Amino acid sequence: MSPELADNNKSGGQDLDSPQRAAELAGELIQALEDGLGALRSISSSLTQGFEVYTKLDLDGIVCLTANQQALCSELRFFIRRWKHLSSAIVENCSNSHISELLHRIDPRLYERMVSLMDNVAEAQAEVRHLNRIHGQLIRRSDRLATIMQNVITGAQGTYQRPSSGTPATGA
């Protein structure tokens, strides 16, 4: 074992030149990527469902959808923090090797899986970004419609008088 790794082990660090420990951390990193990818896909699905809710102006649906999207975003933030923590732990303890080099050296299948996951995550991020832009446009249009309707109602209040309490509302 190199002197640096021996010092690292004395200070509580992990010996990532041990293929078993490195493979464990790499497996955890890949699992974090898979979980994050699942969260991104759930957000994408939720945004797609939101299009119908916003076009129908379904207030209850909008409230439920917003709560669901907030929960999904919190879940995604958790996976991002987990991924960053694992990748920084690997980088700090892997004797100046890049994560991809380390994975390729330990197990080429892990390396291939990570590359594939990173590509899938990038595609899912692009899809969420695109759907988020559309979602934002729908929200702005819904807001404009609500403002127009509010202005119409406010403007009509001076024109029409409420019937007196003793007079029936219908003109029979």
Helix extents (H) in the chain: 3-10, 19-56, 59-92, 99-106, 108-156
Residue 34 corresponds to which tokens in the numbers above? 């898979």
Residue 115 corresponds to which tokens in the numbers above? 């590359």
pTM above 0.75, yes or no: no
* pLDDT (0 to 100) of residue 130: 94
Under-70 pLDDT residues of the chain: 1-19, 21-22, 91-100, 102-103, 106, 157-162, 166-172
111, 113, 114, 115: CA torsion to nearest 10: 90
* pLDDT (0 to 100) of residue 99: 64
The structural domains of the chain, with segments of one domain joined by +, span 18-146
| Calpha distance 86→145 (Å, rounded) | 46
CATH number 1.50.10 given to 18-146: no
* pLDDT (0 to 100) of residue 105: 72
What are the φ/ψ torsions at residue 45 (nearest 5 degrees)? -65, -40
